[in-house]
Amino acid sequence: MNAHARERLNDDFSNPVRLSLMGSLQAVDEADFKSLKEAIGISDSVLSRHLSALEAGGYVQIKKGYVGKRPRTWAKLTSAGQEAFAQHVQALKEITGLG
């Protein structure tokens, strides 16, 4: 059972920042760059790099727009991202005996 769960772990989420990003985005419909940065406590450049990587993997959708004249960036989980992350979390719970 544990061997199966370990195989279902997704390496893309084993990085602490990406795991935190996916977990944060799972809690909301979407989040702006600033809220994510404050919730996770990382710098702009680190957040930007990891968000881009998650977007490239198809887990996160990034939208750019304006609020007034200020440029803003928003991120949300794609349905594939939601599914992949839910499987990852379930596998983690099974491995640690919580699932």
What minimum distance in Å lies between the beta carbon of 44 and other proteins?
A: 17
Residue 62 found at the interface with other proteins (CB under 8 A):
no
Please report whether residue 86 would count as binding other proteins according to CB under 8 A: no
Nearest approach, Cβ of residue 78 and other proteins (Å): 14
Closer residue to other proteins (CB): 53 or 62: 53
By the rule CB under 8 A, 39 interacts with other proteins: yes
Triad 26, 29, 35: Cα angle to 5°: 80
Measured between alpha carbons, how far is 71 from 78 in angstroms, rounded to an integer? 22
CA distance 46 to 24: 15
